[in-house]
Structure 1
Amino acid sequence: MLEFHLGNIIFQLVVFLILMVLVSKLAARPVLGMMKKRQDYIDEQLKSAEESQKQAQELLEQQRAELKRTREESSQIIEAEKKRAEAQATEIINVAKDRAERLINEAKDEIETERVKAVATLRDEVAHLSLLLASKVLEKEVDRKAHEKAIDDFVKQVGESL
């Protein structure tokens, strides 16, 4: 059966304690040191990954804000260019209207000048013809039929010269 001997138990206990001290000094501390280093490395990698993710998120937000700002700027530029083009079109139309008005006024002035010249020429012609008629009338004695004939001839001459 089982017998317990005090000497064997103490010897085994001393050997066990010596073995524990050797294992803890030679094996456990380096293993625990390696595990600590590994844990620190993993923690550092997780922290680095979190920071990278945070930076990526911030960069994404910055890019979205920049894209929004760029879209707003492009909309403003397009709107400004539309207004400028409309203003330029209005200016071109106004310049064309002014030029057309000026040309019309110049044409009216020229027509009026030509009309005045024509009236002056007609007056001169009528005066000349009146003088001719008067000289012909004075040269001969006029009776009523000759007088009417002279007037008709005069009107025909005036009509032909116009």
Structure 2
Amino acid sequence: MLTNSFVLATAAEGGGHINTGDIFFQLIVFIILLALLKKFAWGPLMGIMKTREEHIGNEISAAENSRLEAEKILQEQRNLLKEARTDAQNLIEAAKKQGELQREEIVAASRTESERIKEAAKLEIEQQKEKAVAAIREQVASLSVLIASKVIEKELTAADQDQLINEYIKEAGEER
């Protein structure tokens, strides 16, 4: 190459003599070099680049598919969580309603039982009252008979009657 530059420099100085043989030879060597590079370096290099490009494309596709799948799973999980919260809320509401119904049933049963107990107590009080009145009537009747029999036995003065009545009342009080 140094020679060619020298020749070109000399040709430019000396009147334009160009050595076409050297140019043709360098052109042929350059073409052969390009052919060898294409066959042994460029082809395998392009093959490696093509393989690398396909690998990267596949990795990008796989990453995109994984991202889409992850978004799908995330959405499903969100939906399941939302359904679980809704179900839990419904269960809580149902439990509250059931508790309210049971409370109302218990209150109603308590009121019914208290009314029954009150009615039973009133009935028992009435029966005891009737027994007491009957007992008093019996005592009054027996006192009346006793007083009448005493009156018949003797004639009494007003003072004797008062004394007799007081004695019988006193006796009736002691019998109780």
TM interval, short-chain normalised: 0.7 to 0.9
C-alpha separation between the residues in 2 aligned to 1:109 and 1:5? 149
Q: Report the equivalent of 1:20.
A: 34
Q: Report the equivalent of 2:87.
A: 73
C-alpha separation between the residues in 2 aligned to 1:52 and 1:19? 47
TM superposition score normalised by structure 2: 0.79
Cα offset, 1:14, TM superposition: 2.2
SS in 1 for 2:116: helix
Mapping of residues 4-153 of structure 1, within 5 Å: 4-153=18-167
After TM superposition, the structure 1 stretch with the greater mean CA deviation from structure 2, 9-18 or 105-114, is: 9-18
C-alpha separation between the residues in 2 aligned to 1:144 and 1:27? 162
C-alpha separation between the residues in 2 aligned to 1:122 and 1:160? 14
Cα offset, 1:157, TM superposition: 4.8
C-alpha separation between the residues in 2 aligned to 1:140 and 1:124? 24
Cα offset, 1:59, TM superposition: 2.0
TM superposition score normalised by structure 1: 0.85
Identity %: 40
C-alpha separation between the residues in 2 aligned to 1:77 and 1:22? 80
C-alpha separation between the residues in 2 aligned to 1:140 and 1:154? 16
Deviations 1:99-140 (A, max 9, x none): 221111111111111111111111111111111111111111
Where in structure 2 are there 5+ consecutive unaligned residues?
A: 1-9, 12-16
Provide the alpha-carbon RMSD of the alignment: 2.1
Cα offset, 1:154, TM superposition: 4.4
Q: Which has the higher contact order (CA 8 A, sep 6+)?
A: 1
Where in structure 1 are there 5+ consecutive unaligned residues?
A: none
Pick the structure with greater CA Rg. Answer: 2
